[in-house]
Amino acid sequence: MLSTVSPAGVILRFIHAFIYANQLILNYAYYVFKFLTVPLDKTPRLCQDAKTGRSDPSIRKLPLHVGILIAEDEVSLSDVARIVVWCFASGISHISIYDRKGFCKLHEEALKSHMSNHLRKMYQSSSNKAVVEVHIQKNGLSSNLNNGHSSQNSLEVRLFSADDGRGSIVQAAKSIATAVAQHRVSAEHVIPQYLDSILQEKVGLPDPDLLLKFGEVQCLMGCLPWQIRLSEIISHATHHNLDYKSFYSLIQQFNNTKQRFGR
């Protein structure tokens, strides 16, 4: 004998299904809206979630060192500073900025001020009230910031220009030639890895895992040719008014790449 459902039961089931469907739609819309309208002061938590895989399990790796290449005529210090702060909030340990003409180096204090402002806005509604110190190094030379001790609340950025690209290789080559001439190093030991060690000693940081190139020009503007030879290069049209969604997409692209180093 087939069971029958009363009209009231049918209506009740329909109401339950309608409420459930609406709840799913509202939840989906909430997360889409949350992702598309990420305010700056919420960025650290979202970045940290991305780093640990809690909010997006597909992100399993972050670069240790990010290079930011500005291949555009106009440099926005505020936008560059915001990208740097997002990198820092993501847990990226080393950040370098390169613009060919050295605009960022020339306006070092203004850039530092923008970074401090973005950090203050980012943490103002966070439970983490720790003061983040901003350190900037010019010319890519290591100066043992924080007496050689890294700090979770220390943002360290290195600035480069065209003068620091091939010039650093020339200086390293001269240093190696002098060492060989003085018999401090044998010629057999002069291999690419040795040049790596010389350059890293001068700069004080590893080569970039990721180079974010901003601009339509199809060249690297002389950006640290030796240091970025193995870097993953990801391009974006402009750094002006870059939003967090676009930045996060660039990090996702890096996460999805497989670096084979010529093999």
Residue 234 to residue 67: CA distance in whole angstroms: 10
CB contact at 8 A, 147 and 124: no
Residue 133 to residue 61: CA distance in whole angstroms: 26
Q: Look at residue 144 and tell me whether its pLDDT is greater than 60.
A: no
CB contact at 8 A, 94 and 128: no
Say what the pLDDT of residue 263 is: 43
Residue 181 to residue 140: CA distance in whole angstroms: 27
Please, what is the average pLDDT of the chain? 73
Say what the pLDDT of residue 71 is: 94
Residue 225 to residue 238: CA distance in whole angstroms: 22
Average pLDDT of the segment spanning 113-117: 91
Q: Nearest Cα to 230, choosing from 63, 107, 22? A: 63
Average pLDDT of the segment spanning 171-188: 76
Residue 178 to residue 185: CA distance in whole angstroms: 9
Say what the pLDDT of residue 119 is: 86
Amino acid at 173: A
Average pLDDT of the segment spanning 106-127: 83
Q: Look at residue 163 and tell me whether its pLDDT is greater than 90.
A: no
Enter the pTM of the model. 0.66
Average pLDDT of the segment spanning 142-170: 64
CATH number assigned to the domain with residue range 40-255, chosen from the 4 options 3.40.1180.10, 1.10.760.10, 3.30.70.270, 3.30.70.1450: 3.40.1180.10
Say what the pLDDT of residue 215 is: 94
User: Inter-axis angle of helices 77-90 and 43-52, to 10 degrees?
Assistant: 40
Say what the pLDDT of residue 41 is: 43
Say what the pLDDT of residue 111 is: 94
pLDDT, tens digit (0-9, with 9 covering 90-100), for 22-73? 666 665 555 445 544 444 444 544 455 434 434 455 667 888 889 999 999 9
